[in-house]
Amino acid sequence: MSCLMINDLDAGLGRFGHTQMTVNNQIVVGTLMNLADNPNRVSIGQKWRESDITHRIPIIATGNDFSTLYAPLIRDGRMEKFYWYVCPCV
């Protein structure tokens, strides 16, 4: 089985302060949203073919502060979030 692993997604796509968003950021966010909404159909460039049905693979993204990401990308139903907390009880 394969998966797409994205490390520190918030560092590459997050918005911090008054930073601007580039076209590349918009393309990546749009592609991730498209994969989340329709994971069995992936375009090749600008072309969509009816016969191109792919197997669904998990996309795992790590990050420190997902609140800096585009809100529709991380909404419930599009992304499942698992939080890891350090237990101070040791």
Does 30 map to a domain? Answer: yes
pLDDT at 5: 94
One-letter amino acid for residue 46 of the chain: Q
pLDDT single digits (tens) 8-44 = 999 888 888 887 778 888 889 988 888 888 888 777 6
State the chain's mean pLDDT as an integer.
Answer: 85
pLDDT at 52: 72
Structural tokens at position 9: 């997604």
Residues 6+ apart with CB under 8 A from 13: 25, 28, 29, 69, 70
| Domain encompassing residue 26 | 4-74
pLDDT at 25: 87
One-letter amino acid for residue 51 of the chain: S
User: Domains in the chain: how many in total?
Assistant: 1
Does 40 map to a domain? Answer: yes
pLDDT at 90: 65
Does 37 map to a domain? Answer: yes
Residue 61's CB is within 10 A of a number of other CB atoms, namely 19
Does 21 map to a domain? Answer: yes
Does 90 map to a domain? Answer: no
> What pTM, to 2 d.p., does this model score?
0.75
